[in-house]
Amino acid sequence: MRPVLDLATAQYVVEVTATVALAASGVMEAARKRLDPVGVVVVACLTAFGGGTVRDLLLDRRPLFWVQHPAYLWTVFVIAIVAMIAMRARHRAPTERAIVWPDALGLGLFAATGTQLALQADWPLLAAAVVGVITAVCGGVLRDIVCNEIPVTFRDRRPYAMCAFGGAWAVIATDAMGASDAAELAAGTVVTVALRAVTLQFDWRLPAWRID
């Protein structure tokens, strides 16, 4: 019996959802910085495609995922345009808090798919987890750099990349247990988003450098 959701379909659904989530966070950050329409679209694309592009380069996957599926580009363009029109109509700029949740969702989705693709390429477990983290955080790093911010990955002492690392190991653990491909992606996403939510809710912070 054929599975209801095969691997290719599951990964496609995850990539689409992650792209939309991170594009939304990129648009909101660009709007907070009051960039012009070209800047908004560029930041949205960098955020949505940055991590997946680095992943594909590391895993030597051609064509790049957004080249193979041009609909991703159109989706990001539409999100950026609609969001700009909506925010201008309401005369509101999104707050930093509003960006957190689409960013957390994109973080979890890309961490899961990056780890799973590395496992399929027979990478060692730790290397596969690192690929998952890179896939999850690189888009946000590019977004923050272009918006003239120190990337949240490096300055937010509430665990960020560590949440993606935890989600990556959830994918590895479910893969070792023989779970379905869709279950692996779901586990990695849920663990990452849950960890991020808990760190924000309880304001858990990593120790900072102390300078006398």
pLDDT tens sequence across 81-120: 988 888 776 655 566 666 788 888 989 999 999 999 999 9
Tell me whether residue 2 is in a domain.
Answer: no
Among 74-83, 114-123, 145-154, 163-172, the minimum mean pLDDT is found in 145-154
Tell me whether residue 1 is in a domain.
Answer: no
Tell me whether residue 188 is in a domain.
Answer: yes
Provide the domain limits for residue 181. 7-201
Helix orientation angle between 125-146 and 96-120, rounded to the nearest 10 degrees = 150
**pLDDT of res. 46:** 95
* pLDDT value at 182 more than 50: yes
Residue type, 79: I
Q: How far apart are CA 10 and CA 88, in angstroms?
A: 35
How many domains would you assign to the chain?
1
**pLDDT of res. 4:** 47
**pLDDT of res. 12:** 83
Tell me whether residue 51 is in a domain.
Answer: yes
Tell me whether residue 138 is in a domain.
Answer: yes
Among 4-8, 27-31, 57-61, the minimum mean pLDDT is found in 4-8
Tell me whether residue 150 is in a domain.
Answer: yes
> Would you state the structure tokens that stand for residue 32, as one six-digit string?
């907070």
Tell me whether residue 100 is in a domain.
Answer: yes
**pLDDT of res. 44:** 94
- ∠ Cα 135 164 79 (to 5°): 55
pTM here? 0.86
**pLDDT of res. 172:** 96
pLDDT tens digits for range 39-76: 999 999 999 999 999 999 999 999 999 999 888 999 99
> Would you state the structure tokens that stand for residue 206, as one six-digit string?
């990593």
Tell me whether residue 97 is in a domain.
Answer: yes
